Amino acid sequence: MAQLYVIQSADFTFLLHQTGMTPGNLSAHLSKLEDAGYVEVTKEFIERKPHTALTLTKKGRVAFKEYRNKVKQFVEKLPE
């Protein structure tokens, strides 16, 4: 979600390289995010090759922003 939060859209291969996940692991995570309504998945063919484009939905942006704020609050409370 962090990758999709800072960019408009990404394809599966890009996210695969950015995250270092296996294709099956990334696919499983994306399926759960899609089921939650956080990620929109668009599948198409480009020059007879499958292409999967992913975008963060408005609901996903709100959820990630809330998560990020909670993590910030937690980290700020840690002793130095």
Q: Domain-by-domain residue ranges, the chain?
A: 2-77
Using CA atoms, how far apart are residues 57 and 65, in angstroms rounded to an integer? 12
User: Taking a C-beta distance cutoff of 8 angstroms, is the pair 55, 4 a contact?
Assistant: yes
Tell whether the model's pLDDT for residue 8 goes beyond 90.
no
CATH 1.10.286.10, applies to 2-77: no
Tell whether the model's pLDDT for residue 80 goes beyond 90.
no
Using CA atoms, how far apart are residues 34 and 13, in angstroms rounded to an integer? 17
Q: What is the pLDDT of residue 60?
A: 97
| The two three-digit tokens of residue 52, written as one number | 């999967």
Residue 23: how many other CB atoms lie within 10 Å? 10
Distance, CA of 3 to chain centre: 6
pLDDT tens-digit profile of 13-58? 999 999 999 999 999 999 999 999 999 999 999 999 999 999 999 9
